[in-house]
Structures are given as structure tokens and as C-alpha cells.
Structure 1
Amino acid sequence: MAKTNKTLAIAMSSLAVGVIVLGLKFLAWWLTGSVALYSDALESIVNVVTAAAALIAVRLAQRPADAALPYGYHKAEYFSAVLVGVMIIVAAILILREAILGFLAPQMPEAPVQGLAVSVVATAVNLVWAQVLVRHGRRAKSPAIEADGRHLMTDVVSTLGVLVGLTLVYLTGLAQLDAVLAALVAVNILWSGWAVIRDSVGGLMDVAVPADTQRTIREVISTNAEGALEAHDIRTRQAGKMTFIDFHLVVPGAMTVDAAHAICDAIEAKLREAVKDAQITIHVEPEEKAKHAGIVVL
């Protein structure tokens, strides 16, 4: 429960940080008139929208299972992450448009020192907050929070490129370089958006848990099913922080229901110790159903 409350608090804080950074970046653009800094500010609008989407998704994912969604609302975070990816791509297209217009009608940015200083402050805030989001997102198995953090890290990298590039613009006097920088930012953002969508779609498609977690599950079943004969047809999937595990457990035909149930209880208890937030389904079968191709009970 404490981790859940912390995830919600971080999602709310992310929205507030996004609004602050948005204001700083638009101030930097207003001071300079730079197309590259304008593209950077446009990306911050996306940051605010995606932070709001992540907050809604986290709140929804915390709702308990009900009759309409008996497996819970955990996948809501994947939908949010997909939305983040789409918004990132939209931002990249808008930035490309501004870059083309800026290249055709180049103008030297103004007030370089003030504009760059404000942008540096905004970037520092984003850098610190992105690390917080990514770390907590992975720890809490929150796709929406992690996607938000990864996007902010992309924002940090692109902004650093803009700052270095604008310094070159002022030193060389090449105004068109400003537009070229904006285009490079857009390409970087496009790649980030694709990566977020790709990973999130995997969650929506019921991707299996990582290989090391699968090995742990198989070991736990093998060493804690004393009295059973084998386990087969093991399937796993990840939905937000929840891990779903189901398999068939073969027991001797003469075993009582009570004895088979006790074995299942023992396996479930050990699996929940090894895999946090696990939902487990075990189908018990008589020995004639053995496939001799699953997990042999030790």
C-alpha cells in the first residue's frame, strides 16, 4: 500500500514539475526567439500532457478488480504509455515543421546568455526528475511512470544538444544552424516515441515475464511440489505490477482433493515469496494426464 501511495504521489509531482519546466522553456524561447528552443518548449507541452495521462493511468490501475474487469485495471498503465509514445511523435512532427520554416527564413537568436541560462535550469530539473521516475517506475513495475521518465531523459539529451548547438550558432553566426538543431531534436524524439510504443504494446499483448523470472518460477515449482509428479503448460504474463502465473500440476490418481489442495497452497506461498504481486492459477490433473515434458518434481 505504501508503494502504491508513493507511485501516486510521484505521478502528481511529475505533473507539477512538467508545468514548471514548461514555463522555464517558453521563457528561454521568448528571450531568444530561437527555433531550436521553441522546439524544446513544444516538447515540454508533451511532457505535461503525458504526466497528466500517467497520473490518470496510475489512479485507474490502483482500482481493485470488479465484476467488469475481474483481472483488475493494471493494463491501464500500458494504454497511458502508448499515449505517451503517440504524443512524442506528434511533438516531433510539429518540431520538424518549425525547423523547416526556420531553415527557409533563418534569424539569429537574441539574448543568448539569459536564454541559455534559463534553459540550463530547466534541463537540470528534468534530469533529476527523470532519474527519480525511471528508478521508481522500475521498482514499482509502473509502465506509465517509467515511460514518463524515459521521455524526460530524451528531453534532457535533446536539450543538451540544443544548448551546445546554439553556442555554435552565436560563435559562427550561422543562423540556419538553429533550424538544423531543431530538426535533429525532432529525429531524436521520433526514435524515443517509437521505443515507448514498442515496449508498451508488448505489455498489451500479454508478453511473458523475463527469462530469469521464468527460471525462478520453474525452480520454485520443482522444489516445493512434494507429492506431485510433474508440472506442465506453464504460462506467464505481465500486467503492470502484477505477474500472472498458471500451470497444470499432475498428481497421483489416488490422491485426495485435500492433499492436492495442500500441495497447491505450498507452491503458491513460495511463488508469492519469490515473485511479488503474483496471481497464480493451478489446474490439478491425474497422473494419466502427465506429458513427461514439463517440470519434474524434485
Structure 2
Amino acid sequence: MQINQNKLKQRLILLSFVASIVLTGLKFFAYYITSSNAILSDALESIINVIASGFAFYSIYLSAQPKDRNHPYGHGKVEFFSAGVEGALIIIAALFIVYEAVQKLMYPAPIENLARGSLFILFTILVNTAIGYKLLVEGKRTNSLALVADGRHLMTDSISSVVLILSVGLIMLTGYVWIDSVASILFGGFLAYNGFQITSRSVAGLMDAVDDVLLEKVVQTLRDNKKPDWIDVHNLRAQQYGSDLHIDCHLTLPYYWELQKVHETIHNFENILKSSHTGETEVFVHADPCLYQCCYFCRIENCPVRAHDFVQDIAWDAAKLVKNEKLYTEAKINIQE
């Protein structure tokens, strides 16, 4: 399944790369016949699409490579780097677009053949929207930041092109050429904002920032499949690198169990976590022995060493499970209350 996912991601990003080249050519042709600064801005931004899609294709190819001696955690983080490069290129394009728009606002030039040029832009909107939506859907399904970033870029390009069509229509209705440059400035600001969002998410991934949505998904899996033998889970950490998911935690088990039983329980624990994720999942579990304080919330029946009666369950949530301490402190507080 993992191999098929990687091939699908590569085919999608290759489609995006080829489409970006064709659509960029159409936009420059539209600029050639119209001399519209807004159309030129859209065409220049599409060059970024080509570069970004090419880099994203390489990053997805690299992220699919197996672990090796130099990369024991795999190559999935390259997708964060790819998204960061794409975001940075978008911001650079936005700054250039705003600069060119200000220049045209100060020194206006005639605009021609707007209707013909708009037809080419309309075609690019349809293609970009279709491919961008597909990339977003598959990127979220496969947890690929590179696909999501490229899909969002294409969708942003479509939105900007819609704004462009509207500004061209206003120019044709009113005859005010300055609308062309104002539309470009607004487009540049919108583009810079999206580029900043993509870059911020990329930096967060490279810095191993907590993904609250991912963490909650892991905690929900543990809640839904909780076994009486799982006395306590703490020091939980989860990180997504491309399609690869890495989870590590401490699992509290009865201290009197034999090593074989501990091994089997941990193995089942890992398999439950792996089954909840479609990509490659690596789980590291550190086994902790129970303490007498754990008896208050331990549900193991007929325990030969029980020191206290069971009192209550402790609700598992992300805030509790990420702490590097057993949950008996939480139980003690609740019991005292």
C-alpha cells in the first residue's frame, strides 16, 4: 500500500509540473496580446508554479526512499523543506508583482485585446482548480505536506486569476486602466499571505512542533482501544514526516509480569497504533513497572499485589498523556477532592 501511495503522489505532482509549464506558456501569450500588467503578474507567478512543482516532485521521490545508514528516520522531512522553498518563492513572486504594479501605476501603458486574453486565463483557472483540488484531497489523505502545499498554490493561483478576470471586466466596462495595477497589488498581498502560511507550516514541521490534530488522533486511537492491562500511558510524542508517522511513549504494565508477556502486550499495543495510519508507522514503547499508587485507577481483575481498591478511571487526553509522569498524580488529586 505504501508503494502505491508513493507512486500516486509522484504521478499527481508530475501532472502538476507538466500542467504548470503549459499554463505558464498560455498566460505569457495572453500578456503578449494584451500588455496587461495583471496578466503579466499572473504569468510571472506561474513560473513559481513550475519551479515549485519540479522541486516538490523531487522531494516526494526522495521521501519515498527507504531508511538508510545516514537517514535512520527516513527521508520524509524533505517534504517540509520543499513546502518551505515553495512558500519562499511565492513571497518573492508577490514582492516582484507589487513592484511591477506600482511601476505601471506611476507610468501607465495602453492595454489591448482584453477579451481574447481573458479566454486564455479562464482556461487556466479551470485546469488549475481541478488539479489543485485533487492535490489537496490526496495530500491530506496521505499526509503529504508537499502535495498540500502545491495544491494550495494552484488553488491560490486560480483565485488570483478569478480576481484578474474581474479586474479585466471592470477595465472593459469603465475604461480605467489603473484598475489593472491596483488588482495586481491586491493579488500580490494575497499571494504573500499564502506564501507566509505555507512557510510557517514548513518551519514548524522542520522544528518538530507539536501537531495538535495528529496528537489528538493518536490519543483517540488509544482511548477507543484501551485495554485493562494498559495501566498508564505517558510521555507520548507523535511526529509526521511525509507519509511516515513516528510515535513513542511510556506504557505502564504490572511489575510482576514476565518479559514474554510484556513483549506480547507491547507488540499488540504497537499494532493498534499502526492500524490507525495508512502510511508507514514506527512505534517505540518504553515499558514502565506499575507502582502501588496506580492501584487507584488500575482495572486489572484479581491482581495478586493490589494495594488499594479501584476508585476511578482517569480520562486520557493529550494534555495528560504528553506529560513525562505517571497518571497516579492526577488520580491522587481527584481522590483528595
Q: Same fold (TM over 0.5)?
A: yes
Distance 1:161 1:46 in 2: 19
1:129: how far off? 1.0
Aligned counterparts, 1:133-212, within 5 A: 133-209=135-211, 210=213, 211-212=215-216
Query: Per the alignment, do residues 44 and 228 of structure 1 end up closer, same or farther by CA in structure 2, a change over 3 Å counting?
Result: closer
Kept in 2, the 8 Å contact 1:63–1:72? The answer is yes
Distance 1:111 1:231 in 2: 67
1:49: how far off? 0.5
1:275: how far off? 2.9
Q: Which residue of 2 aligns with 1:279?
A: 282
Kept in 2, the 8 Å contact 1:77–1:142? The answer is yes
- Cα deviation per residue 1:86-118 (whole Å; 9 max; x = unaligned)? 000010011011101100111231012211111
Instruction: Choose 1 or 2 for highest CA Rg.
Output: 2
Query: Per the alignment, do residues 129 and 38 of structure 1 end up closer, same or farther by CA in structure 2, a change over 3 Å counting?
Result: same
SS at match of 2:76: coil
Q: Which residue of 2 aligns with 1:219?
A: 223
**Aligned-residue RMSD, C-alpha:** 1.8
1:220: how far off? 5.1
SS at match of 1:275: coil
SS at match of 1:282: strand
Distance 1:220 1:43 in 2: 46
Q: Which amino acid aligns with 1:284?
A: A
Aligned residues: 294
Kept in 2, the 8 Å contact 1:60–1:76? The answer is yes
Q: Which amino acid aligns with 1:293?
A: L
1:252: how far off? 2.4
1:228: how far off? 4.7
2:30 pairs with one of 28, 31, 34: 28
Q: Which residue of 2 aligns with 1:58?
A: 60
Q: Which residue of 2 aligns with 1:77?
A: 79
User: Are residues 1:293 and 2:327 paired?
Assistant: yes
- Cα deviation per residue 1:171-211 (whole Å; 9 max; x = unaligned)? 21111111111111101100110111112222112233415
Aligned counterparts, 1:240-279, within 5 A: 240-276=242-278, 277-279=280-282
Q: Which amino acid aligns with 2:217?
A: T
Kept in 1, the 8 Å contact 2:222–2:273? The answer is no
Query: Per the alignment, do residues 47 and 228 of structure 1 end up closer, same or farther by CA in structure 2, a change over 3 Å counting?
Result: closer
Q: Which amino acid aligns with 1:114?
A: R
Distance 1:262 1:78 in 2: 35
Distance 2:229 2:187 in 1: 61
Structure 1: 5+ residue runs without aligned partners? none
Distance 1:208 1:267 in 2: 22
Q: Which residue of 1 aligns with 2:122?
A: 120
Q: Which amino acid aligns with 1:202?
A: A
Aligned counterparts, 1:77-96, within 5 A: 77-96=79-98
Q: Which amino acid aligns with 1:285?
A: D
Q: Which amino acid aligns with 2:218?
A: Q
Given the two structures, how large is their TM-score scaled by the length of structure 1? 0.93
Q: Which residue of 1 aligns with 2:335?
A: none
Given the two structures, how large is their TM-score scaled by the length of structure 2? 0.83
Kept in 2, the 8 Å contact 1:264–1:282? The answer is yes
Query: Bigger shift: 248-257 or 181-190?
Result: 248-257
Distance 1:256 1:38 in 2: 72
1:292: how far off? 4.1
SS at match of 2:187: helix
